[in-house]
C-alpha cells in the first residue's frame, strides 16, 4: 500500500500543478518499470478516485487544517489518504500508518505528526465533517463552481444527474467488428471466459465489470474494439455507401475510422495533426485488417493536404472541452477553465468553415463532440448555419433504437458518455 499511496500522491500532485493525468501516469510507469499489472491498477485507482472526488476532499482538508499546507507533496498525500479512508477497503489504521511512513520516504519527517493528527481527526469527526462539506457545491457535486453554474443554466432539470454521472466509474463498451464476428457469437465467447456482458444497440456490448484490455478475448485479433456506445453512433449516422470518398478529420486514435470501414467499402482519408497519435490510427486499422489513407495535416488548412477532389462524407469529431467524458478523465474537471470554452468554439468554427469547402454538393458532414456544453454544440451549429446559406441541418436518422439522442445531445448515464451530433448537408 505504501508505494501505491506514494506514487498516487505524486500523480495527483502533478495534476494539481497543471499537468494531465495521462501524462503523469505515463511518467510514473516509465520511472517504475518494476510495477506489475496489480501495482499499476492500485496506483491508478487511488489517483482516479482522488481526482474524481477532489472537490470534497479539498473541502474536508481545509476544515481539518489550521492553516494551508506549504508543501504540495504533503497536500497531495493527505488528499489520497482521505480518499482511501472514505472509499478504500484497507483498514483505517493501515492507511494512516502508511501515510505517516510515506512522509519519511518523501523526506517530510517533520510532517509525520501532522499527517497522523489530521487523518485521525478525520476518522473521529467523519460524519460531522461530511455534512459540513456538503454545504459547498464544489464539494457536494465534485466539480468546479463555474462548471456547475453552466450546467444548471443550460440543463435546469438534468444538471444534478449530469454532475452525478460525471463522478461515477464509466461503463466499458465494446464494438463488435461485424466483418469478423457477430454480436451474439461474441457474447457467447465472453460467457465461455466467465465475462458477463449484454448487447446494447446494433454492435455494442456492455461489460458488467471493467477489465484490462489485455484480458478481452478477440481484441488483438480485431474482432472487437473498445469504444463508448454513444461514440458508436458516429459511423452509422454518416449514411455510408460503398465507393464513397470519406474524410475522418481529427481521426486519432482511429476508433471511428475503423468503424466507418467496418460498415462500408469506402475510400477513407484519416486526418490528424499529431504524428504520434496517427501511429495509433495505423495500429488500430492494422489490428482490424482495414486500410485507409492516413494523413498528417491541420483540418483548418485543407490547402496543405487536400487534393481538390470533394468528399461525399466528412466526420468532424472536433476538439472540445470533453465535458461529456469527465468521468473517464477526472483531471479535466480541475484543469479546464471557464475561459477555455471560447477557445474551443473558435477552433471548432474554423474547422467547420474550412472543411465545408471540401464537401461535395449534396454531401453530408457529421459534426460531433464529446461535450455537453451548448456553446460547443447547438449554438455552434446555429452560428454555422447563419454563415453558410448552402447548409441545412438534417434530422438524425434512427440508426439505433437503443441509444436515443434528443436534438443530437446525449447526456452521460450508466450506459454511455455525453456526446453531441449534428448532421449537415450541402446544397
Residue 406, pLDDT > 70, answer: no
Mean pLDDT of 1-16: 94
Please report where in the chains the cell 443550460 appears, as a residue: 154
State the pLDDT confidence band at 397, using cuts at 50, 70 and 90: confident
Is the predicted pLDDT of residue 404 greater than 70, yes or no? Answer: no
What is the pLDDT at residue 99?
95
pTM attached to this predicted model: 0.94
Tell me what pLDDT residue 427 has. Answer: 92
Q: Has 300 been annotated as catalytic?
A: no
Digit-coded pLDDT (tens) for 202-242? 899 999 998 888 899 999 999 999 999 999 999 999 999 99
Residue 1, pLDDT above cutoff 80: no
The class level of CATH for 231-426 reads alpha beta
**3-state secondary structure string across the chain:** CHHHHHHHHHHHHHHHCCCCHHHHHHHHHHHCCCCCHHHHHHHHHHHHHHHHCHHHHHHHHHHHCCCCCCCHHHHHHHHHHHHHHHHCCCCHHHHHHHHHHHHHHCCCHHHHHHHHHHHHHHHHCHHHHHHHHCCCHHHHHCCCHHHHHHHHHHCCCCHHHHHHHCCCCCCEEEEECCCCCCHHHHHHHHHHCCCCEEEECCCEEEECCCCCHHHCCCCCCCCEEECCCCHHHHHHHCCCCCCCEEEEECCCCCHHHHHHHHHCCCEEEEEECCHHHHHHHHHHHHHHCCCCEEEECCCCCHHHCCCCCCEEEEEEECCCCCHHHCCCCCHHHHHCCCCHHHHHHHHHHHHHHHHHCCEEEEEEEEEEECCCCHHHCHHHHHHHHHHCCCEEEECCCCCCCCCCCECCEECCCCCCCCEEEEEEEEC
Q: Please report, rounded to a whole number, the percentage of residues in the chain having pLDDT higher than 70.
A: 98
Lowest mean pLDDT across 269-278, 320-329, 392-401: 392-401
What sign for the dihedral angle of Cα 19, 25, 29, 34?
Answer: positive
Lowest average pLDDT, out of 3-17, 227-241, 400-414, goes to 400-414
Q: Of the listed 103, 142, 250, 370, which one is catalytic?
A: 370
* Superfamily of domain 2-140, CATH level 4: NusB-like (1.10.940.10)
Q: Is the pLDDT of residue 347 over 80?
A: yes
pLDDT for residue 405 is more than 70:
no
Q: What is the pLDDT of residues 97-141, one digit of tens each?
A: 999 999 988 889 999 999 999 999 999 999 999 999 889 999 999
> Which residue ranges does the chain devote to CATH 3.40.50.150?
231-426
Q: What phi, psi does 298 have (nearest 5°)?
A: -95, 125
Q: Work out the average pLDDT over 348-352.
A: 98
Q: How confident is the model at residue 318, as a pLDDT?
A: 98
> What does the buried/exposed string (b/e) look like for 69-92 if buried means 16 or more CB atoms within 10 Å of the residue's CB?
beeebbbbbbbbbbbbbeebeeeb
Distances (CA, A) of 54 to 171, 179, 200, 385, 406: 21, 43, 32, 40, 31
Pick the CATH number of 172-226 from 3.30.110.30, 3.30.460.80, 3.40.50.300, 3.30.70.1170: 3.30.70.1170
What is the structure's pLDDT at 105? 87
pLDDT (tens digit per residue) in 295-331: 999 999 999 999 999 999 999 999 999 999 999 999 9
Where in the chain do CATH 1.10.940.10 domains reside?
A: 2-140
- Which tens digit of pLDDT belongs to each residue from 277-289? 999 999 999 999 9
Amino acid at each position: 500500500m505504501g508505494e501505491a499511496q506514494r506514487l498516487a500522491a505524486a500523480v495527483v500532485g502533478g495534476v494539481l500543478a497543471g499537468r494531465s493525468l495521462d501524462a503523469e501516469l505515463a511518467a510514473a510507469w516509465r520511472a517504475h518499470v518494476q510495477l506489475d499489472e496489480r501495482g499499476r491498477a492500485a496506483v491508478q485507482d487511488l489517483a482516479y478516485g482522488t481526482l474524481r472526488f477532489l472537490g470534497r476532499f479539498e473541502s474536508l482538508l481545509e476544515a481539518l487544517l489550521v492553516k494551508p499546507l506549504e508543501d504540495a507533496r504533503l497536500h497531495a498525500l493527505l488528499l489520497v489518504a482521505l480518499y482511501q479512508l472514505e472509499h478504500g477497503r484497507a483498514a483505517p489504521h493501515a492507511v494512516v500508518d502508511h501515510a505517516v511512513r510515506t512522509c519519511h520516504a518523501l523526506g517530510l519527517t517533520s510532517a509525520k505528526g501532522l499527517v497522523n493528527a489530521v487523518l485521525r481527526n478525520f476518522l473521529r469527526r467523519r460524519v460531522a465533517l461530511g455534512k459540513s462539506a456538503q454545504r459547498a457545491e464544489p464539494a457536494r457535486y465534485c466539480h468546479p463552481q463555474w462548471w456547475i453554474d453552466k450546467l444548471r443554466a443550460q440543463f435546469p432539470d438534468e444538471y444534478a444527474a449530469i454532475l452525478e454521472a460525471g463522478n461515477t466509474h464509466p461503463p466499458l463498451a465494446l464494438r463488435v467488428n461485424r466483418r469478423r464476428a457477430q454480436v451474439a457469437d461474441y457474447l457467447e465467447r465472453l460467457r465461455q471466459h466467465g465475462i458477463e456482458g449484454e448487447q446494447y444497440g446494433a454492435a455494442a456490448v456492455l461489460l458488467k465489470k471493467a477489465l484490462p484490455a489485455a484480458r478481452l478475448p478477440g481484441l488483438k485479433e480485431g474482432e472487437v474494439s473498445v469504444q463508448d456506445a454513444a461514440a458508436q453512433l458516429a459511423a452509422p449516422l454518416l449514411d455510408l455507401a460503398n465507393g464513397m470518398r470519406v474524410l475522418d478529420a481529427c481521426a486519432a486514435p482511429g476508433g471511428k475510422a475503423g468503424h466507418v470501414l467496418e460498415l462500408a467499402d469506402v475510400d477513407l482519408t484519416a486526418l490528424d495533426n499529431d504524428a504520434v497519435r496517427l501511429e495509433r490510427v495505423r495500429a488500430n486499422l492494422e489490428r482490424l485488417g482495414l486500410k485507409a489513407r492516413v494523413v498528417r495535416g491541420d483540418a483548418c488548412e485543407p490547402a496543405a493536404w487536400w487534393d481538390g477532389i470533394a468528399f461525399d462524407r466528412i466526420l468532424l469529431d472536433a476538439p472540445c472541452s470533453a465535458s461529456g467524458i469527465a468521468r473517464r478523465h477526472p483531471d479535466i474537471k480541475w484543469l479546464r477553465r471557464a475561459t477555455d470554452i471560447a477557445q474551443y468554439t473558435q477552433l471548432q468554427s474554423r474547422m467547420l468553415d474550412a472543411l465545408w469547402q471540401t464537401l461535395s454538393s449534396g454531401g453530408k458532414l457529421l459534426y460531433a463532440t464529446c461535450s455537453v456544453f451548448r456553446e460547443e454544440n447547438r449554438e455552434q451549429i446555429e452560428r454555422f448555419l447563419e454563415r453558410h446559406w448552402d447548409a441545412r441541418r438534417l434530422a438524425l436518422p434512427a440508426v439505433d433504437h437503443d441509444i436515443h439522442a434528443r436534438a443530437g445531445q446525449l447526456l452521460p448515464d450508466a450506459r454511455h458518455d455525453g456526446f453531441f451530433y449534428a448532421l449537415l448537408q450541402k446544397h
